[in-house]
Amino acid sequence: MFDAIPRAQFDVPGRSNGLLDVFRWHYLLRLLVRTGVTTRYRNSVLGWTWSYVRPAAQFLVFFVVLGVFLQLNRGIPNYAIYLFSGIVVINLFSEGFKNATTSIVNNAPLVRKVYLPRQLFAVSAVIVAFVHFLPQVALLLIVCLFFGWIVHISVLSILAILAGMLLIMLFALGLGLLFGAVNVRFRDAENIVELLLLLATWASPVLYFWTMVADVLPDWLFQIYMLNPITQAVELFHFAFWYPITETTAELPLPPMLGINTLWTFLITIVSIVIGQAVFRRLEGRFAQDL
């Protein structure tokens, strides 16, 4: 009976189709996301309140040190909103990137015993980070509404929010696939990620204005700085939340070529996913043995 079935219709056990399998196994992806969301604050007294407490504490530290002590709030009007709109982007990237890096190691029992597309773990980690990011954006939106944001909102502002979120999630996924695969064999990858996340906050215009960088860097190096996907996502959120409630002046202009640079950074992000996926598929055959 089996002789009549063409060999092309059989699947090789354990063979992966990469990220395409995420769509085929979408039911399992929903289960992983639901588990990640519900277990994060299990047995926690404050529960989901931590999604507000952590960014609020982070914001207060930076605002007091940089805004009050170093008086950046005098040079940047509405500095609190400028700061917080950048912090929420960094938090999304940090959680998504870090969780995707450790997703394979943290799910070692499943990887060793059951076959399933291993990319599901990294994708679900980024989606869970996005779910935890939503309360922070809601808080930012509520504050902006008190400053009359709704009056100045435009279609471009909405598109900037969506583009910024998509850009940072895809970039976190690309890097998470790369470092997540390497981390299975070399746990030093987690420490490298911690260093990169420490630099991410300072390497993007979250705490300062982008013109401060343009004044000290050569033009070619400044262009590279602006093509950092994290920098571009932060500036998209500034454009969407901070600029509508702030009068643009000669000292506080829009970043140059914001739209063109957004397209370039999406291309860079896609390249990072392609590279991350290639490395992941190259190494995933030994995940079970290395774990």
The answer to the question of residue 84 being in a domain is yes
The answer to the question of residue 8 being in a domain is no
pLDDT of residue 10: 47
Report residue 114: phi and psi, to 5°. -125, 140
Averaged pLDDT score across all residues of the chain: 82
Residue 27 and residue 29: Cα distance in Å, rounded?
5
The answer to the question of residue 106 being in a domain is yes
Per DSSP, the residues of 181-218 read HHHHH-THHHHHHHHHHHHHHHTTTTSS-HHHHHTTS-
Residue 117 and residue 122: Cα distance in Å, rounded?
10
Asked if the model's pLDDT at residue 92 lies above 80, the reply is: yes
Lowest mean pLDDT among 35-44, 104-113, 186-195, 250-259: 35-44
In order of 78, 94, 137, 244, 285, the CA distances from 142 in angstroms are 15, 23, 9, 14, 47
Task: Name the residue type at position 17.
Answer: N
Asked if the model's pLDDT at residue 15 lies above 70, the reply is: no
CB 213 within 8 A of CB 205: yes
Lowest mean pLDDT among 67-71, 115-119, 198-202, 264-268: 67-71
pLDDT of residue 51: 65
Residue 89 and residue 232: Cα distance in Å, rounded?
10
CA angle 33, 34, 37 (to 5 degrees): 85
Q: pTM surpassing 0.85?
A: yes
CA angle 91, 215, 228 (to 5 degrees): 35
pLDDT of residue 2: 45
The answer to the question of residue 46 being in a domain is yes
Asked if the model's pLDDT at residue 135 lies above 60, the reply is: yes
Q: What is the pLDDT of residues 56-70, one digit of tens each?
A: 777 777 777 777 777
The answer to the question of residue 50 being in a domain is yes
Q: Which two tokens stand for residue 181?
A: 């695969």
Residue 88 and residue 197: Cα distance in Å, rounded?
14
The answer to the question of residue 133 being in a domain is yes
**Residue 148 exposed, middle or buried by CB count within 10 Å (0-12, 13-18, 19+):** exposed
The answer to the question of residue 155 being in a domain is yes
Q: Which residue has the higher pLDDT, 122 or 62?
A: 122
Element (H, E) at 258: helix 258-283
Largest CA distance in the chain: 81
Q: What residues make up the domain containing 94?
A: 13-290
Residue 206 and residue 184: Cα distance in Å, rounded?
32
The answer to the question of residue 6 being in a domain is no
Q: Which two tokens stand for residue 49?
A: 């309140």
Q: How many separate domains does the chain show?
A: 1
Residue 182 and residue 151: Cα distance in Å, rounded?
48
